[in-house]
Amino acid sequence: MPKCTINGKEVEVKAGSTIIEAMYQEKESIAHYCYHPGLSVAGVCRLCMVEIEGNPRVQIACNTVVTEGMKVNNTSAKVKDAVKWGLDFHLINHPLDCPICDQAGECGLQDQYMEFGKYDPEMAERKQKKHKVVDLGPTVVLDSERCILCSRCVRFTDEVSKTHELGLFNRGDRTEIGTVEGKQLDNKYSLNTVDICPVGALTSKDFRFRQRVWYLKDAETICPGCSTGCSTKVYFNKEGMFRVKPVYNESVNGHWMCDEGRATYKFINREHRLLKAKKGKSGQWSEVAPGAAAKELSGILKGTNADSLGLVLTAQYSVEEYEAIVSTFVNTFKSKKVFFWVNNKESFESFDGLLLRGDKNPNTKGLLKILDKYGLTATWGDLKSGIEKGELKTLVVAGPENQAVFPDLGEKITELSKVPKLIWLQAGKNEQLEALTGDVTLIPLKTYVEKDGTFVNHQGLEQKFKRVTTVVSEALTLDQAAQLMSGQEIKITTADTFIESNRRPDEVMLEHRKKNEFVFKRGTL
């Protein structure tokens, strides 16, 4: 364990670690572009300069291994000057695109310029013209002019996704990033290249031009896309959710996440959500408040014979919610008919070697644990025969939150809708559900960003997540629904709600003005 001194602080680091790792460990700030803790060292940006005592020149921190008694410093005037001129070289051909660049606001170049730069440009030559808006693949767009050739994305496709699609082409100031001939940047982890791009060269097609980043708030949560349960950050504002990015978590996902998981913000947004509870009888629908609908059900469910009452659960809810609803069924309704709806059965155990798992539910382990705890062993076959024989008359279904990962959804709806009374709890809209003609009640639920809870991932790791915001304030969580159905009173707070649309709450509309005119009788005051 070599000891070294960094900016006057004595530090002990692991043998073989580089200076920049020691800096990370001590949370010292250091300018860098090409170095990324999850990738190999390239040493091309020449920005992480440090002064080492006894060494006449400044050295790069990312490729210099710490030795015993090394005295390192990156705050001296010499280092700052080196970084400043390094930055000047990066900016020689970098266009002044900041106003239309998606990275503006979270850009490495902007940050370093404000810290080390602030000079008048001394280049008299014209900027090198390169390709703009290059379509790299189905998810990513490249702007070669903005690229500073740090090669992070190239190293990512070589080392992490191992798909080898990207490369550096040409020489000198004509160097460009591009895809290898005949290939597209089309892999399941392609959007990580956008995350690690320190400038706005690689942008995500999904997020491009939709929001400026300074309008977005972020909060950490757990990805519900599959049973890996990556740590993520969701970015949102009052207009809705906009993107998902990975957060470093050593024991689960490292620095990365898959492209599928980045789509998990879409079903949260209001336009995809069920806003009111709906009661339908022979095709006639009426809307009620979700709480009232659940409360009304408590009387009906309590009056039902325990043998004719069943519960279907998908593995998309938190442990706390399963606990609440299963205990309600077992203890209050005395029904042991709790069924586990397994989606894509064939690929359930598959794993692609990096992060993606075939089990597209965040909490399969958690649900199995609760079912074990209450000794529930009913199988899907029991459910099928129960429906066919007509034993099951009332069925409560906690439907999928992320409907995209349930390929059997349509099939299951037809199967389950054969019971005389169907109660379907779900966050999102579904046309097939709303086209049912039987006795159906739809109750909107909250999504994973709107509640606190715990997911148990495939390793059995319990991960807690916190409420981020509220999108549909009236919707219930599954445990609130369970409490209401068992006849308990609950208190629902409607604090921190989204504004209905993009309209300001105090925007003056025509109706208001007309009303004012009526009140004040303009001209006769």
Partner 1 sequence: MSVVQNNSEKNKWYLVGILGGMGITMRHLLKNLFNKKQMETLNYPEEKYEYSPRFKGNHVLTVKKDGALRCTACMLCATNCPAECIKITAAEHSDPRVEKYPISYEIDILRCVFCGFCEEACPVDAIRMGPEWQTPGVNGTNFIYDINKLAYRPNLKGGIQTHVDDEERHKSGI
| Nearest CA among 363, 98, 75 for reference residue 227 | 363
| Contact status: 100 vs partner 1 (CB under 8 A) | yes
Which residue in the set 489, 502, 519, 524 belongs to the binding site for partner 1 (CB under 8 A)? 502
Burial classification of residue 440, based on how many CB atoms lie within 10 Å of its CB (0-12 exposed, 13-18 middle, 19 or more buried): buried
As measured in angstroms, the least distance from the Cβ of 138 to partner 1 is 15
Which amino acid would we find at residue 193?
T
Which residue in the set 77, 510, 519, 525 belongs to the binding site for partner 1 (CB under 8 A)? 510
Burial classification of residue 181, based on how many CB atoms lie within 10 Å of its CB (0-12 exposed, 13-18 middle, 19 or more buried): exposed
| Nearest CA among 240, 161, 143, 253 for reference residue 199 | 143
Closer by beta carbon to partner 1, 1 or else 510? 510
Binding track, positions 214-253, relative to partner 1; x by CB under 8 A: xx--------------------------------------
Residues 6+ away with beta carbon under 8 Å from 274: 426, 427, 428, 429, 442, 444, 472, 475
As measured in angstroms, the least distance from the Cβ of 132 to partner 1 is 5
As measured in angstroms, the least distance from the Cβ of 95 to partner 1 is 8
> How many contiguous H segments (helices) and E segments (strands) does the chain have?
13, 22
Which residue in the set 138, 514, 515, 520 belongs to the binding site for partner 1 (CB under 8 A)? 514
- 172's tokens: 């000198």
Which amino acid would we find at residue 168?
L
Q: How many CB atoms lie within 10 A of CB 208?
A: 12
Which residue in the set 114, 495, 508, 519 belongs to the binding site for partner 1 (CB under 8 A)? 508
As measured in angstroms, the least distance from the Cβ of 114 to partner 1 is 17
Closer by beta carbon to partner 1, 16 or else 121? 121
How far is the C-alpha of 494 from the C-alpha of 427, rounded, in Å? 17
Phi, psi angle pair for 333, to nearest 5°: -90, -10
The bridge status of strand 309-313 relative to strand 3-6 is: unpaired
| Contact status: 507 vs partner 1 (CB under 8 A) | yes
Q: How many amino acids of this chain bind partner 1 (CB under 8 A)?
A: 22
| Contact status: 517 vs partner 1 (CB under 8 A) | yes
As measured in angstroms, the least distance from the Cβ of 214 to partner 1 is 7
The Cα-based distances of 506 to 215, 289, 498, 499, 503 in angstroms read: 20, 26, 15, 11, 8
| Contact status: 133 vs partner 1 (CB under 8 A) | yes
As measured in angstroms, the least distance from the Cβ of 309 to partner 1 is 49
As measured in angstroms, the least distance from the Cβ of 107 to partner 1 is 14
Residues 6+ away with beta carbon under 8 Å from 138: 184, 186, 205
| Contact status: 212 vs partner 1 (CB under 8 A) | yes
Burial classification of residue 154, based on how many CB atoms lie within 10 Å of its CB (0-12 exposed, 13-18 middle, 19 or more buried): buried
As measured in angstroms, the least distance from the Cβ of 137 to partner 1 is 16
- ∠ Cα 506 507 510 (to 5°): 125
- 401's tokens: 């939150």
Closer by beta carbon to partner 1, 209 or else 519? 209
Which residue in the set 3, 9, 14, 132 belongs to the binding site for partner 1 (CB under 8 A)? 132
Closer by beta carbon to partner 1, 495 or else 510? 510
Tell me the window of 160-168, 328-336, 343-351, 512-520 that interacts with partner 1 (CB under 8 A): 512-520
| Contact status: 513 vs partner 1 (CB under 8 A) | yes
- Go through the chain and tell me how many residues it has: 525
Closer by beta carbon to partner 1, 375 or else 518? 518
Binding track, positions 80-99, relative to partner 1; x by CB under 8 A: ----------------x--x
As measured in angstroms, the least distance from the Cβ of 104 to partner 1 is 8
Which residue in the set 10, 504, 523, 524 belongs to the binding site for partner 1 (CB under 8 A)? 504
* Residues that bind partner 1 in the complex, under the rule CB under 8 A: 96, 99-100, 126-127, 129, 132-133, 208-210, 212, 214-215, 502, 504, 507-508, 510, 513-514, 517
